Amino acid sequence: MSTQMIAIHLPDGSVREVPAGTTPLDIANSISPRLAAVSVVARLTPVEATEETKATEEESSSDAAMYAAETGAAARLVDLSTPLTEDTRLALLKETDAEALKVVRHSAAHVMATAVLELFPETKLGHGPATDQGFFYDFYRETPFTPDDLTAIQAKMAEVIARDEKFVRESTLREDALAEFEQDGDFMKTHFVTKFTHPGDQVSFYRNGSFVDFCRGPHVPSTGRVKAVKVTNLAGAYWLGDEKNPQLQRVYGTAFFSQKEMDAHFARLEEAAKRDHRVLGKQLDLFSIQDLAGPGLIFWHPKGGLIRKIMEDWMREECIRRGYSMVFTPHVMRRELWKTSGHAGFYADNMFTPIKLDDAEYQLKPMNCPGHILIYKNSPKSYRDLPVRLAELGNVYRYERSGTMHGLLRVRGFTQDDAHIFCTPGQIEDEVVACIEFAEAVLTTFGFKEFKVELSTWDPKDRAHYAGSDENWALAEGSLKRALERKGIAFRTIPGEAAFYGPKIDVKLVDVLGRLWQLSTVQFDFNLPARFELEYVGEDGERHQPVMVHRALFGSVERFFGVLIEHYAGAFPLWLAPVQVGLVPISEKHHEYAKSVKAELEAAGFRVEMDDRNEKMNGKIRDFANQKVPYILVMGDKEAEARAVSVRTRGKGDGGSMSVGDFVAKAGALANGRSMEL
Ligand SMILES: [Zn+2]
Ligand SMILES: [Zn+2]
């Protein structure tokens, strides 16, 4: 071993000179044994990199990332026991780090394979990557696993973890490894080595106890660090997705650094299943998708339709208040229009097949933009007319492959709360600020407290892929960025993620379960104004091309409704609830009184339903409660005499009786104020 010294740059800015061959674990120990004990894996970043870049989700979960040799040029995760050989930045990741979770899950896959081979030695191994929800391992065995086998695998995994075996990296000449795999009939391992390594390479293996797996790593230091693991389910999968190949058994599991985190994960899944908008949509009779009509096409039932009306009324009024003009454009237009816009080319895969009519081909619209552009173009514009803000709750139709549709979230026909803003370059920053403020109003009004903002910018090195001039891009990206900064909104910049026709801001809301949903978008477009030769006459008397922005805030009314259903678990706030008040007369002799209360409430603007069935009071209360009605008013002799109602509030139970007038005042204030209190 040479005595060459290398420089290790730590996150606090300090630099340590250590002999080459020192490991991240050595460095952790030299800082404090405590730090060494809680570290899971290390991230190395080349010193010349300006900031620590993380591999994207896609990169880190792909097969290539599991097997291909490291390039050394980008940030990468390594075992704590990896000898460091050159100057590098080093970060020690702890259990709380999101990237460490993937490492423990992949390590759990090795534990699973260890257990399977101990129980069923004839099994051949595929591979075992981490996923967003856990991990899986592909196995080949003539006899399929049974549920009892899975229980045995889970128990054996606990033994492997208790043995706390170190994950040790070894390397072998590729050709030697291949020879051994071929001799053992390990057809899947042979495939992975052949595909992801090159002749003459050293290939890496990981050993724990007597188990060895071809893998690039990294892993947690030892099996004992997999502190909570659960085998969840089993699915069949053909090797390489080809049904002519042997059928593999994909065993799924999930792993965490603690039992507490795992319990929270399963509680979250259970809660999400209870909130599934497809289930609640049926249970609350909000919407349906009909076989006879076709997949991905939504039928809004009276109760869902009512919520939609409230959403749309709010949106239209806000648009008008904020200086938008409401327009309507046809659902189907000549295909020539879509050739001019370019959609017939670059968007062809997402469009319905054209419809042949007597004179020409017609196209069901996948977007509202060309329609709004035709309205803009219909009369000459001067700088005094700008900004022109055209808004429409426009139905669009997009082709989604059969089998990919999902409730209200992924559909073939939906309604965009779409608007296009045409303005001068000098106006754009204020316009973007106004869009962001409008987006914030949507989120807070509909009861979301948290959101995340992303700014997608271009990759100037890939110039050929983008429409618009360098000045266009500088202006657009600058105004998006400055608008966010003016609003004091934290955002993440994603370079190279912009559409070819312009940069954009995406707003993702965070729902009550912490899930992210992509909704609002503010998107620049340098392509359409040029294709349609849009103009305005400037102050200088010359013709100029306006700046064009697409923006949608709900995104899709259908999708937003789906998110609302899941966010509220169907218990909509009072102002959105399709039935706000359920009336329960105790017996038939109270029907007359209940009817008079109904009339009074309806006159005050409430949506009221009265249950006059010949049922027990408790049954009627239960039915309204199951429909998640915010207020249930019970009426018997006492109430009729005092012109009062006995009030049950959703989530709070029986609140005693109050006069009808007091109820109207109290509930009216909540509903009219769009309160989130109920
Ligand atoms: Zn591995
Ligand atoms: Zn558009």
Question: Can you give the residue ranges of every domain in the chain?
Answer: 5-94, 99-271, 287-329+368-568, 581-672
Which residue spans within 121-167 are E strands per DSSP?
124-125, 135-140
User: 3-state DSSP call for residue 379?
Assistant: coil
Residues 217-249 have pLDDT tens digits of 899 999 999 999 999 999 888 888 788 888 899
Residue 63 to residue 61: CA distance in whole angstroms: 7
Q: Structure pTM?
A: 0.78
Domain formed by 287-329+368-568, architecture: 2-Layer Sandwich (3.30)
Cβ < 5 A residues, ion ligand 2: 369, 550
Whole-angstrom CA distances from 157 to 61, 145, 164, 616 are 23, 16, 11, 54
pLDDT at residue 149 is higher than 60 = yes
Which residue spans within 218-353 are E strands per DSSP?
228-238, 247-256, 287-289, 298-300, 325-326, 332-334
The verdict on whether 567 is a catalytic residue reads no
Instruction: Say which residues have a Cβ less than 8 Å from residue 658's Cβ, sequence separation at least 6.
Output: 644, 645, 647, 666
pLDDT of residue 57: 38
Give the number of the ligand closest to the Cα of residue 418. 2
| Ligand 1: centre distance to CA 105 (Å) | 10
With 0-12 / 13-18 / 19 or more C-beta atoms within 10 angstroms meaning exposed / middle / buried, residue 56 is exposed
CATH number of 99-271: 3.30.980.10
> Of 550, 567, 598, 650, which one is the catalytic site residue?
550
pLDDT of residue 70: 53
| Mean pLDDT computed over 64-85 | 74
Q: pLDDT above 90 covers what percent of the chain?
A: 75
| Mean pLDDT computed over 40-53 | 76
| Ligand 1: centre distance to CA 147 (Å) | 25
pLDDT at residue 480 is higher than 70 = yes
The verdict on whether 127 is a catalytic residue reads no
| Ligand 2: centre distance to CA 369 (Å) | 4
Cis peptide before 387 (omega within 30 of 0): yes
Give the number of the ligand closest to the Cα of residue 552. 2
| Mean pLDDT computed over 525-536 | 94
Give the number of the ligand closest to the Cα of residue 422. 2
Whole-angstrom CA distances from 605 to 23, 315, 640 are 71, 20, 22
| Residue 241: Cβ within 10 Å count | 7
The verdict on whether 398 is a catalytic residue reads yes
User: 3-state DSSP call for residue 310?
Assistant: helix
| Ligand 1: centre distance to CA 426 (Å) | 55
Q: Do domains 99-271 and 287-329+368-568 have the same CATH topology?
A: no
The structure tokens listed for 202 are 């050293």
pLDDT of residue 55: 41
pLDDT of residue 181: 85
> Of 215, 369, 423, 435, which one is the catalytic site residue?
369
pLDDT of residue 72: 54
Domain formed by 5-94, architecture: Roll (3.10)
Residue 20 to residue 513: CA distance in whole angstroms: 47
The verdict on whether 417 is a catalytic residue reads no
The verdict on whether 550 is a catalytic residue reads yes
The superfamily in CATH containing domain 581-672 is Anticodon-binding domain (3.40.50.800)
> Of 138, 418, 506, 525, which one is the catalytic site residue?
418
> Of 335, 420, 620, 650, which one is the catalytic site residue?
420
| Ligand 1: centre distance to CA 143 (Å) | 25
Give the number of the ligand closest to the Cα of residue 524. 2
